[in-house]
Amino acid sequence: MTKSSELKTNTKIVTKDKGSFLQELDADICVVGAGISGISAAIEAARLGRRVVLVDSLPVLGGQAVNGIIGAFCGLFANGPNGYQLTHGIADDILRELGKQGMLHYRRNGKWTTVMYDEVALSRWVDNAILESGVTPLLGAVLRGVEREGRRIKSIDLSTRFGDLRIHAKGFVDASGDAALTWHAGLPCREPENATVYGTLMVVLEGVNNEKQPARELVVERLHENATHYGFMRRDGFAFAFPGRGLALVNMTHVETPLDPVKASVKSLEGKNQADKAVQFLKGEFPEAFSSASVRSYGQLGIRQTRWIVGSKHLTVDEVRAGTRFEDAVARTAWAIELHDREEGYVWEEFPEDHLHYVPLGSMIPPDADNLVAAGRCIDADVAALSSVRVMGPCIAMGAAAAHALDLAGEGSVHQIDLKAFSERIKDNVERTD
């Protein structure tokens, strides 16, 4: 055994250089935002043989899918009791691997199918998939500037706690959710006018008696009657059981999600207070199911809509309702119009069993940029239309489409790619029915 007097500790004295050190990275494709659409884009681009850097402001991967504890893949299946899978790519990998682990539960109510998942299992799948694909992750990196020459983005500047970086790339994916890359590039964006689109802070409860858990209809009825007594305004929501595991996923809050940094920070804390009141409501109204329950985890405040791009095509709610099939379609879903534009509830407009609506590539590409593609909740659509296509199924498909569009464009423009070749590459997410 070494005596303490023999231990040697080597250190050195350092001071920050007066000059600003800037680390530079080169990539074929840079993806900004590591939520489900960004993960899909990054992995798909890497599988195409591209050098990929994946950037996120959080210190962990997965975006809201993991850290917001959304807890359910919505919009992934067609409507009806036997709805087929609409989105493939990494969706196939996730369903297969988490299914093997017993970390999925399929909820089919005869009208639509959602797939509940364990957020820890999804997080680890994402981590391993990114490492195995050869994608370079850059976490805890805040976008602070974009260099654009004419119609092309040349590089982006980022700040981290360890120093500043600049990433040069041939193509960029804006999967930030808030159109952060598009905004910093000085390109036009949209925001809701005279309306608030509320977000939700989710919680996972453990110690739940799943066998005594009430039906959603009864929960909504009690919310209408007694929510004010517990100190919150939302009158609709749910506490879905994860059968056999003593867990429940609780979605009962409506929280403003402003773009102002100070206000956003305050609202995230207020969201936890709302969630606590929702838990007290469940304990008070349904003690047989929830009296022994406690919060396993609070999610990051989930954002539905804040800022999004102005694209070459503006998707409308009339096109969603009509199921318009676009020549450049990249994704499809049958998810309802789900517009959370009021504190006490939201618009829920279901579609029939044979309905599908589509996302066009034009809604993902700004008209004044040749090497930028948006994916996820920041594509161009009106507020109601966006509410029906921002769920995880079509977001995965949009991410894959962004990768293929940039791969085909190369040094050229995403506005001039071979549309036939593009459609052939992504046809599983637009045409497959098995």
In this prediction, residue 20 carries a pLDDT of 67
In this prediction, residue 29 carries a pLDDT of 98
In this prediction, residue 1 carries a pLDDT of 55
Verify that 239 and 183 share a domain, yes or no.
no
Verify that 136 and 31 share a domain, yes or no.
yes
| Ranges assigned E (strand) in 82-220 | 104-108, 113-117, 136-139, 142-149, 152-160, 163-174, 189-190, 203-206
In this prediction, residue 375 carries a pLDDT of 98
In this prediction, residue 17 carries a pLDDT of 78
Q: Is residue 17 part of a domain?
A: no
In this prediction, residue 197 carries a pLDDT of 94
Q: Stretch 130-155: mean pLDDT, rounded?
A: 98
Q: What is the domain-level CATH number for residue 325?
A: 3.50.50.60
Q: Is residue 9 part of a domain?
A: no
Verify that 142 and 208 share a domain, yes or no.
no
In this prediction, residue 308 carries a pLDDT of 98
Residue 6: pLDDT over 80: no
Residue 5: pLDDT over 70: no
Query: In this structure, are strands 72-73 and 113-117 parallel, antiparallel, or unpaired?
Result: antiparallel
Q: Stretch 145-168: mean pLDDT, rounded?
A: 97
Residue 45: pLDDT over 80: yes
Verify that 257 and 278 share a domain, yes or no.
yes
Verify that 93 and 170 share a domain, yes or no.
yes
In this prediction, residue 61 carries a pLDDT of 97
Mean pLDDT across the chain: 95
Q: Is residue 15 part of a domain?
A: no
The half-sphere exposure of 91 on its side-chain side, counting CA atoms within 13 A, is: 26
Q: Is residue 14 part of a domain?
A: no
Verify that 285 and 326 share a domain, yes or no.
no
Query: In this structure, are strands 238-242 and 247-251 parallel, antiparallel, or unpaired?
Result: antiparallel
In this prediction, residue 18 carries a pLDDT of 75
Verify that 141 and 253 share a domain, yes or no.
no
Query: In this structure, are strands 345-349 and 337-342 parallel, antiparallel, or unpaired?
Result: antiparallel
Verify that 272 and 311 share a domain, yes or no.
no
Residue 302: pLDDT over 90: yes
Q: Stretch 18-44: mean pLDDT, rounded?
A: 93
Confidence tier at 3 by pLDDT (50, 70, 90): low
Q: What is the pLDDT of residues 376-434, one digit of tens each?
A: 999 999 999 999 999 999 999 999 999 999 999 999 999 999 999 999 999 999 999 99
3-class SS at 165?
A: strand
The half-sphere exposure of 130 on its side-chain side, counting CA atoms within 13 A, is: 25
DSSP symbol at 48: T
Q: What is the pLDDT of residues 335-384, one digit of tens each?
A: 999 999 999 999 999 999 999 999 999 999 999 999 999 999 999 999 99
Verify that 38 and 108 share a domain, yes or no.
yes
Give whole-number Cα distances, 134 to 49, 125, 137, 248, 376, in Å. Answer: 10, 14, 9, 35, 23
Q: Stretch 177-201: mean pLDDT, rounded?
A: 94
**DSSP labels, 314-334:** -B-HHHHHHT---TTEEEEE-
In this prediction, residue 21 carries a pLDDT of 72
Residue 4: pLDDT over 70: no
Verify that 188 and 207 share a domain, yes or no.
no
In this prediction, residue 8 carries a pLDDT of 73
Q: What is the pLDDT of residues 207-247, one digit of tens each?
A: 999 999 999 899 999 999 999 999 988 999 999 898 889 99
Residue 248: pLDDT over 70: yes
Verify that 177 and 241 share a domain, yes or no.
no
Q: Is residue 4 part of a domain?
A: no
Residue 331: pLDDT over 70: yes
Please list, residue by residue across 331-343, b when 16 or more beta carbons sit within 10 angstroms of its beta carbon and e when fewer do: bbbbbbbbbbbbe
Confidence tier at 264 by pLDDT (50, 70, 90): very high
Q: Which domain holds residue 59?
A: 23-78+87-193+306-335+352-429
Q: Stretch 47-67: mean pLDDT, rounded?
A: 97
Q: Give the number of domains in the chain.
A: 2
In this prediction, residue 296 carries a pLDDT of 94
Residue 58: pLDDT over 80: yes
| Closest CA relative to residue 252, chosen from 223, 294, 295 | 223
Verify that 30 and 144 share a domain, yes or no.
yes
Q: Is residue 73 part of a domain?
A: yes
Q: Is residue 7 part of a domain?
A: no
Q: Is residue 2 part of a domain?
A: no
Question: How many of the other CB atoms lie within 10 Å of CB of 425?
Answer: 19
In this prediction, residue 10 carries a pLDDT of 84
Query: In this structure, are strands 142-149 and 152-160 parallel, antiparallel, or unpaired?
Result: antiparallel
